[in-house]
Amino acid sequence: MKGKPTIYDIAKKLNITAATVSRALNNNPRISQATKELVLKTAKDMNYEPNKLALALKKGKSNNIGVVVPYINRNFFSSVIRGIEEELFPKGYNVIISQTHESAEREVDIINNLLNAQVEGIIISLAKFTKNTKHFEQVLKKNIPLIFFDRYQEMGGVSSVTIDDYQGSYDATIHLIEQGCDRIAHLTVDPTLSIYKHRLEGYQQALIDHSIPFREELVVKLKSDMEEGKRVAENLMALENPPNAIFSTSDYGALGAIKWLQTNGYKVPEDVCVVGFSNEPFTQFLDLSMSSVDQVPLEMGKMAAQVFLEQVNDGNNVKIEKKVVLSPSLIIRQSSTKK
């Protein structure tokens, strides 16, 4: 009487067995129409709802999927998660989220935990310091779809959804060139990480395509942070032949640069054009709105979810490896528009 009703409660009430109830509820053709209707009606009357845990145990499917990000409250990540949730909720999946705090160790713990929880798939943006991918091997061994997004590492059997960082960077640089800039600085974060490496390459190729010489001293590595951006801008403008454009792989760095330029007598965009990367929400609210490369996070999340769905439904044991590359979208605003 107390607690949720089970199929046994329904069976007892109708004087049939639980097996019949189960079949009736699952619309098994071997059950008579009359019984089906009776069971369905009784189930509704008793407010019956299947126990997902029992089902999960029996079927070996939990209906849960794990999503792992460095920090949930970064706009990019929370937007990706939003996309994932919106795609997966209608299909009956629950989204479990965990944060690595950029720690590779914690990432290992999380993966183990998710495996114990019997998730049916894992969608992850790697912690910055993850070099080793051993903890992912068991995921693959169990044939659980594993999908990297944004940050990834090459690994057999893993799918990924990323943006074309090269293209985004190329487009941004071309845009600056078209604005008449020919001394374009590039602020990077860590060129050993693939995404930043690709951005650097896109920048370089754009220069080459417009016969603009590449100058080593215009490429600066810094943390993604406003203060660093200020410092770097100061150094750059002190060069003998200072830049007339700054393309930063981080909106925060770009913001710092703009602030330093403005408080030191430079006009943006007239003297120096600036473009950032990520299209953080704040970029559009600045008095001088900032151009930036949008990483289409919502789409990325939806796409990652779709890749997961394809793989989880695909019963055959063939390991699929799907690489989706989305096109970023350059948002041109005031900071790079000399009209």
Q: Does 113 bind a copy of itself (CB under 8 A)?
A: yes
Alpha-carbon distances of 314 from 64, 84, 139, 144, 307, rounded to whole Å: 17, 19, 17, 11, 11
Residue 34 near which of a copy of itself, DNA, none (CB within 5-8 Å, type-dependent): DNA
Nearest approach, Cβ of 101 to a copy of itself (angstroms)?
A: 8
# chain residues binding a copy of itself, by CB under 8 A: 52
89 sits near a copy of itself (criterion: CB under 8 A): yes
Mark the segment that binds DNA (CB under 7 A) among 6-14, 94-102, 217-225, 293-301: 6-14
Selected binder of DNA within 1, 2, 27, 59 (CB under 7 A): 59
- Residue 17 CB, shortest distance to DNA, in Å, is 4
**Closest separation in Å from C-beta 315 to DNA:** 13
What, of DNA, a copy of itself, none, does residue 16 touch, CB below 5 to 8 Å by kind?
DNA
User: How many residues contact DNA, by CB under 7 A?
Assistant: 31
Task: Please provide residue 98's backbone torsions phi and psi, each rounded to the nearest 5 degrees.
Answer: -140, 155
- Can you tell me which of 8, 71, 129, 214 binds a copy of itself, judged by CB under 8 A? 71
CA atoms of 278 and 331, how far apart (whole Å): 10
34 scored as a contact of a copy of itself (CB under 8 A): no
CB 186 within 8 A of CB 161: no
Contact with DNA (CB under 7 A) among 7, 84, 184, 232: 7
Q: Which of 8, 26, 45, 54 binds a copy of itself (CB under 8 A)?
A: 54
Q: Which partner, DNA, a copy of itself, none, binds residue 32 by CB below 5 to 8 Å per kind?
A: DNA
* Residue 22 found at the interface with DNA (CB under 7 A): yes
Q: Counting contacts by CB under 8 A, is residue 22 touching a copy of itself? A: no
Piece of 15-23, 75-83, 128-136, 268-276 that binds DNA (CB under 7 A): 15-23
Tokens 């199929």: give the residue: 7
Report the residue number, 5 or 242, with the smaller CB distance to DNA: 5
Any idea which residue has 């070996």 for tokens?
A: 60
46-54, 154-162, 191-199, 267-275 -> range binding a copy of itself (CB under 8 A): 46-54
Nearer to a copy of itself, 10 or 181 (CB): 10
Examine residue 99 and tell whether it contacts a copy of itself (CB under 8 A).
yes
Beta bridge partners of 149: 161
How many beta carbons lie within 10 A of that of residue 109, not counting itself?
Answer: 13
- Residue (31 or 218) nearer to DNA, CB: 31
Give the closest residue to 209 by CA, choosing from 240, 173, 233, 184: 173
List the x/- string, 118-137, binding to a copy of itself by CB under 8 A: x-------------------
Q: Where does this chain bind a copy of itself (CB under 8 A)?
A: 3-4, 49-54, 56-57, 62-64, 71-75, 78-79, 81-82, 85-86, 89, 92, 94-99, 110, 112-118, 142, 226, 255, 262, 280-282, 285-288, 297
Q: Where does this chain bind DNA (CB under 7 A)?
A: 3-8, 15-20, 22-23, 25-26, 28, 30-35, 50-51, 54-55, 57-60
